[in-house]
Amino acid sequence: MTAKAATSIVYPQGLKNENSNLITKIETFRVLPRWLFVRVETAKGIVGWGEATLEGQSEAVEGAFEDFRERFIGWDAANIEDIYQTAYRHRFYRGGEVLMSAISGLDIALWDIKGKTLGVPVWELLGGKVRERCNVYGWIGGDRPSDVLAQAQARKDQGFLAVKMNAVESLAWLDSPHALEATVKRLEEVKSIGIDVGLDFHGRVHKTLAKQLARALEPHKPLFIEEPLLPGHVEELKKLYAQTTIPIALGERLFTRQDVRPYFEAGVIDIIQPDIAHAGGISETHRIATMAETYDIGFAPHCPLGPIAFAASLQLGFSHLNFLICEMSWKMHYNQGADLFTYMKNPEVFDVKNGAIELLTQPGLGIELDEDLIRKAAADSKDFSWRNPTWRGPDGGIREW
């Protein structure tokens, strides 16, 4: 075959043969509290579920799925990597939170189908288990943290050994140093009951105050500080990293290996926190976690989302040696109108015991969803779109949420 002939071969519906299990339907369901579920069905009747939640921007992701339906119905559901690479590369523009969240939802559903087809959990497809249980943490305090001691005690009673809370409320670019004192007090209060605490700066703290806050927290040993600076500030983070011994975590607003690479190579983080609903699903998050191990960086999935994203995150936790802990949204402050277990038929698989969740053993993602309830919830909330809070200071200037 000549080179010219070789380059003219077209695969309009990917790589398939007469035995392929073809994708016949791709659906999305926007449900309370702020989640976007994805349902993929095949010609052999196997259904896989994914999650493409992009908080506050569901409509944009739904638009991407209009394209996916046009492109991937009729493709072999088994060819996860071929579908991933086609979705990522073949529209020329790539990356970014909208496309990657859409890819995430489709990708997770395809892994669910693969596991159900073969009768094994997803972690088995990723090389097998490296642990019997995954550590998890719960949330306390809300967007404007308060009453954290009582909430921390409730979490401890629920079986958690670690929690996360927002470090600060709304801050000016340069604020009074007194604005940071409450953060230290809250950390001391929660740690007093014998529970570990991660502090989420949430990109609210600019470098003018981040170094002061990190220094003030140092003696009190938080489990980690998350997003101490906004994404993109690699050089600035390098200076902060040199000034503290507190583990630095980030990654929820990084979506590919290309995005995390500068942070890994600069040596400015200790923990990477990709969100499986934003970072290309199981396929790309798996690659990010593997890449992190090369740099002795821990893997702690970001997941303030629904049961599908959480189950997918745990599948990676069971199969990655550098997994540390996973975020769990059960009873989180954002979960208004529905909670982590609402759409599940087997919520017992997420029971928290001694700060951890036992190995998920059912095929695919390991969870059973109530499809009838999901369809009803999506119909009932079709006009609802969750939006994140928007903050301004006393002078009217925009502040980070």
> For residue 195, what are the contacts with CB-CB under 8 A and spacing of at least 6?
152, 155, 156, 160, 161, 162, 163
Side-chain-facing half-sphere of 53: CA atoms under 13 Å: 23
Contact 140, 152 (CB under 8 A): yes
Local structure of residue 360 (DSSP, 8 states): P
Options 90, 202, 278, 333, the catalytic residue: 202
Burial (Cβ within 10 Å: 0-12, 13-18, ≥19) of residue 255: buried
CA-CA distance, 291 to 300, in Å (whole number)? 13
Our CA angle for 340, 132, 162, nearest 5°, is 50
Q: Which residue has the tokens 């002939």?
A: 5
User: What Rg do the C-alpha atoms of the chain give, in angstroms?
Assistant: 21
202 is an active site residue: yes
CA-CA distance, 95 to 155, in Å (whole number)? 37
CA-CA distance, 363 to 354, in Å (whole number)? 25
Nearest to 299 by CA among 279, 277, 326: 326
320 is an active site residue: no
Helix (H) or strand (E) holding 200: strand 196-200
Options 206, 278, 286, 302, the catalytic residue: 302
Which residues form the catalytic set?
202, 302
